[in-house]
Chain A
């Protein structure tokens, strides 16, 4: 049942993930991003988060190097939202358009981002800030048991 909800992400989640190796203050957010990608793999349905086209294309352009492995992993977890392209709209407007489109197709849609927290244009839209995302994922007991087994073994 819970696999029926979908997520909209932006560049924050990927940046947090890539900063995981920086071992500084960024580590906490990076760990949450890692948990989120693991959760998408763990699910049986809706295993990809959506992203607005303008941000998706920027990321693809940067990751298109070498043997394409990072890009292939990114595409495993994130797909481009089908809202068409318009040079006249802002990221915020595109995000709301994508939310409205997905809300018709799926039972629940969450926006995973710190960007729009407290923004009055998003007051009726469920936002998972990185802190709320952490709680959302850690409340999933079966998933957390799976994570403990994967990273620490059965006897953790």
Chain B
């Protein structure tokens, strides 16, 4: 593997975990910092080769968790097929 490939591999973000929670499950500090209400749905995403801090996204209208999952399946070529 040449140095360019190594550099590209290092820079490609990889999703390590996704946790979808309600605002009420976050700490008071996190809710206040991110402007999230107790009823909001929130996605907490951790990526490798990305800044270490978790990415917290409030899911609004037309951003339901399953729509995001469908997009991920489509991007990875699984959409419209049985998984196993």
Contacts and interface: CB of A to CB of B under 8 A. Distances in A.
Interface stretch (B3-11, B26-34, B67-75): B67-75
A76 interface: yes
Interface residues of A, number: 37
Interface of B is mostly: mixed
Interface stretch (A59-67, A92-100, A120-128, A129-137): A59-67
Interface residues of B, number: 35
B83 to A, nearest CB: 5
A44 B22 contact: yes
9 shortest interchain CB distances as A-B pairs? A69-B72, A72-B18, A73-B69, A21-B79, A15-B82, A21-B80, A72-B15, A22-B80, A70-B72
Interface of A: 11, 14-15, 17-22, 34, 37-38, 41-42, 44, 47, 55, 58-59, 62-63, 65-76, 149-151, 153
